[in-house]
Amino acid sequence: MDIVFHPGVNGSTPWVEFYPYTPSATAGYAFMGLFGVATVVHLVLTFPFRAAYFIPLILGGVCETFGYYGRALSHQSRFKIGPWAQQEMLILCAPPLVAATVYMVLGRMIRSLQAEHHSSMPTKRLTWVFVLNDIICFCTQLGGAGVQVTGDAHVMDIGKKVVLAGLIFSLVVFCFFIWIAVKFHQRLGREPSSFVIQNPSLAWNRYMWVLYVACAALMIRNLVRTIQFGSPRTSVLNTSEAIIYIFDAFMMFVVFAVFIVYHPGRLIKKARRRADAEQFCGPLTSESAVSLGRYPSAVSH
């Protein structure tokens, strides 16, 4: 942890050293811009894809944007509590919001592929269970970061332990979620649902790997942050600002970027349209599939 409390000497006012280095204004503003642009793009994409489930990710993007703005402001003084509190609370609280969207994406993908029977947990329960756990992680980290702004050494130490507990809990929950996603992926690959068989152009497999990339980035971020909060102030994880930008800022931006390039809303919207069409017209026969160009026509004799 990079906070040092200095008690007053001979009646002088106590003060807190929030950073063991002078935060970079350039890096702070750079990632503020990156997250700001990515957040706006995701906000725009929610409309054509009808992806309201991306609202938590968008809120996480807002937190990241203003969080790194706080780090940039901290360049002027590493002893001011305002900018430090802003970046500490917002950057810590953004990942649980982003993770909530990841949880909801898997549930919607499973339903859109009509493969609920391959899920280890009912999709409605899956979404609520993981989002509820995510809310617990969010509140834990928000509370732990919030009490540290008091400036009291004892309370700040408690806050550090609360944040650490929240990070460990989020790692455990995320590992369980990844296990469910992998099991679903394997089962659907071995036994595709009838809807997947009838719609081979959906490329659902690609979006599962996109989900894995997002999960891996979040896992790396949470793991490094957990180790950081459990490490002494003199460790390289706390004395090098580059660690924050490589294993936190960059990892989080990877999640935003990969969901822009391969937005799950494309798959879900396409699957929804196919399902609506088949409900209206009935399942496609081989003749109708040929007429739609879904499959190559047979060679006439």
The partner residues of 6 in beta bridges, in order of sequence, read 15
* Cα 81-151-135 angle, rounded to 5 deg: 80
Joined together, the tokens standing for residue 76 give 């002027």
What's the pLDDT band for 11 if we cut at 50, 70, 90? low
**106 has pLDDT over 80:** yes
**262 has pLDDT over 90:** yes
> Of 231, 249, 250, 163, whose CA–CA distance to 2 is shortest?
231
pLDDT given at position 131:
82
* Selected residue with higher pLDDT from 6 and 187: 187
Q: What is the mean pLDDT of residues 181-188?
A: 96
Joined together, the tokens standing for residue 225 give 């942050």
**90 has pLDDT over 60:** yes
CA dihedral 252, 254, 255, 257 (to 10 degrees): 130
Fold for the domain defined by 18-191+205-267: Rhopdopsin 7-helix transmembrane proteins (1.20.1070)
31-77 pLDDT tens trace: 999 999 999 999 999 999 999 999 999 999 999 999 999 999 999 88
Joined together, the tokens standing for residue 42 give 């995701």
List the chain domain ranges.
18-191+205-267
Q: What is the mean pLDDT of residues 258-271?
A: 96
Distance CA 55, CA 79 (A): 34
Give Cβ neighbours of residue 210 (< 8 Å, ≥ 6 apart).
258, 259, 262, 264
pLDDT given at position 73:
95
Q: What is the mean pLDDT of residues 80-102?
A: 90
Left if phi > 0, otherwise alpha if psi is -120 to 50, otherwise beta: which for 151? left
116-135 pLDDT tens trace: 999 999 887 887 888 888 78
The partner residues of 17 in beta bridges, in order of sequence, read 4
220-259 pLDDT tens trace: 999 998 888 778 777 888 889 999 999 999 999 999 999 9
Give Cβ neighbours of residue 197 (< 8 Å, ≥ 6 apart).
none
Left if phi > 0, otherwise alpha if psi is -120 to 50, otherwise beta: which for 50? left
